[in-house]
Amino acid sequence: MKLSKFGEKFSGTSGIVELMEDLGSALNENPDMIFMGGGNPGRIPEVEQVFKARLESVLADPRQLHSLMGVYQSPQGDKAFLEEIAALLQRQFGWPLTARNIAVSNGSQSAFFVLYNMFAGEMADGTERAIHLPLAPEYIGYRDIGLSDNLFTATRPEIELLDDNLFKYHVDFSRLAINARTAALCVSRPTNPTGNVLTDAEIAHLDSIAVEQDIPFIIDGAYGLPFPSIIFNDAKAHWNSNTILVLSLSKLGLPGVRTGIIVAREDIINAYTKVNTIVSLACGNLGPALAREVVTSGDILSLSTQTIAPFYQQRADQTVMWFRAALGDLPYRIHRPEGAIFLWLWFEGLPITSQMLYERLKARGVLVVPGHNFFPGIEGDWSHKDECIRVSYAQDGSVVQRGVAIIAEEVAKAYLE
């Protein structure tokens, strides 16, 4: 089979493909597999009940049911849903926007594929531009998303060592290299994989740099503000006319409906919508149909802050305690959990690579994600990339506790070697 450059690039091996294949096939190979690698959210009964009731309401109304299943929506998304999202953001934050500043995507991964390739890659004049990640490690799904190679550059973080075997990454502004090749800045907040929440000061500084350079500032808010608000500190939401904020319904408990939300100035939304028409034709209807009522009422905010965020904070605190007990005196550090649904573990001087540790854990029935996949744009050797793993704590506590024990056993064996 002969493939185009596109075919070869996107049908090849990548970290995100391996992750999703593992999640899809592991249960067939091992029904008792402990899933601590993927981004699937935890099951929260109160949240499930809200969306179950909404789905039952749609199914009971022939008009709504036909709109759900039998009508194409605009490539920009359901108009009523766009208006309600805009109204919510206006009320909550005073942001000067309308429905013309909002678009829906078939999942935020799809949104980033379009946005990154709109701004970066080969330009019309033959030059090449790149998305700059001011702090890596960053989301595994970015790495291979470009239509051209070398779509990302990145800056190594400052590492602050904290008490109790914790640490924290910060943006190293002294190394931040922005030049004519830089097409946009992009951060995830909270950061996937580490649970790091960039400070309000870091966000403001990055925003000022982007404005000065006349490039967009993209914030991946899939876990963040204003919903699902899986943030454990007092961070503030950020948006302005130079910011592209990408949100998602997945971590509200709806990963299967594949609904992303883009908030940007009108010319960016117009360009995105035209591309999305070619790529996707139209957006799915299910996510907006399930979420519209909680957006209209504003309950999406209270559900996020009063139910979803406390659920994950309790899970994070408990899992850190389990790791501390299991890892004992081993040379480990955990990135201070400030949000999202993961812990990021750093085993300094680990005698094997994170990929080898992943393989050993998989053989023991525990799925994690090896850390080297999370450093797109970081050039050269840096041992830190091979000393980290991402661990999800979204599953039931008893399952996570068993996984923690097995991880600790395999790490201890590695250091003994």
pLDDT digits (tens, 9 = 90+) for 264-316: 999 999 999 999 999 888 888 989 999 999 999 999 999 999 999 999 999 99
Same domain, yes or no, for 276 and 347?
A: no
Asked if 36 and 395 count as a contact pair (C-beta separation under 8 A), the reply is yes
Q: Is residue 64 part of a domain?
A: no
Same domain, yes or no, for 125 and 230?
A: yes
Same domain, yes or no, for 313 and 291?
A: no
pLDDT digits (tens, 9 = 90+) for 279-292: 888 888 989 999 99
Check residue 6 and give its pLDDT: 74
Task: Indicate left, alpha or beta for 380 from its phi (over 0: left) and psi (-120 to 50: alpha).
Answer: left
CATH of the domain at 220: 3.40.640.10
Same domain, yes or no, for 278 and 393?
A: no
pLDDT digits (tens, 9 = 90+) for 26-38: 556 676 889 998 8
Check residue 7 and give its pLDDT: 74
Check residue 68 and give its pLDDT: 80
Q: Is residue 379 part of a domain?
A: yes
Same domain, yes or no, for 239 and 387?
A: no
Same domain, yes or no, for 179 and 254?
A: yes
Domain that holds residue 41: 5-46+303-416
Number of structural domains, the chain?
2
CATH of the domain at 24: 3.90.1150.10
pLDDT exceeds 80 at position 14: no
Q: Is residue 293 part of a domain?
A: yes
Check residue 21 and give its pLDDT: 67
Name beta bridge partners: 231.
339
State mean pLDDT over 10-39: 70
Out of 272, 297, 322, a domain closes at: 297
Q: Is residue 62 part of a domain?
A: no
Check residue 66 and give its pLDDT: 85
Same domain, yes or no, for 265 and 335?
A: no
Supply the mean pLDDT for the chain.
92
pLDDT exceeds 90 at position 371: yes
Same domain, yes or no, for 246 and 319?
A: no
Q: Which of 14-18, 146-150, 282-286, 398-402 has the highest mean pLDDT?
A: 398-402
pTM, entire model:
0.93
Same domain, yes or no, for 146 and 287?
A: yes
Check residue 17 and give its pLDDT: 65
Q: Is residue 53 part of a domain?
A: no
Same domain, yes or no, for 18 and 97?
A: no
Q: Is residue 55 part of a domain?
A: no
pLDDT digits (tens, 9 = 90+) for 74-125: 889 999 999 999 999 999 999 999 999 999 999 889 999 999 999 999 998 9
Same domain, yes or no, for 344 and 287?
A: no
State mean pLDDT over 220-229: 97
Check residue 37 and give its pLDDT: 86
pLDDT exceeds 70 at position 24: no
Q: Is residue 63 part of a domain?
A: no
pLDDT digits (tens, 9 = 90+) for 45-76: 999 999 999 999 988 988 888 888 888 888 89
Out of 252, 273, 297, a domain closes at: 297
Check residue 15 and give its pLDDT: 59
Out of 245, 279, 297, a domain closes at: 297
Q: Is residue 395 part of a domain?
A: yes
220 φ/ψ angles, rounded to the nearest 5 degrees: -85, 105
pLDDT digits (tens, 9 = 90+) for 141-192: 888 888 888 899 999 999 999 999 999 999 999 999 899 999 999 999 999 9
Same domain, yes or no, for 281 and 310?
A: no
